[in-house]
Amino acid sequence: MRFFAFIVAALSLVIAGVMAVDIQKSVLITYPPETPDSVLDQAKKAIVQGGGTITHEYKLIKGFAAKLGEKVLDQVSALGKEYNALVEEDQVVSAL
């Protein structure tokens, strides 16, 4: 009986661990031209510290592409709210 209880407890921990995995998303984050560079640097730092990666930094517009977890995405969105950051899912675009 103790063995059965041990198995149930172990499976509960495994299931909780699997559910705690943060799903990674590819996103584009852009800012208005008047946004200070320090705001972008702060957002990029939060992404890297949260286990994400910056996949591309744009030169013509203020922004970057990143792959990050949903929890970090919420944090970065909150950081950019004052500057009207646009956060959108990265997608493949094609012509008809």
For residue 79, give the nearest of 34, 29, 27, 10 by alpha carbon.
Answer: 29
What does the pLDDT average to over 29-33? 95
Percentage of the chain surpassing pLDDT 70?
77
Specify the pLDDT at position 79.
Answer: 83
Specify the pLDDT at position 92.
Answer: 83
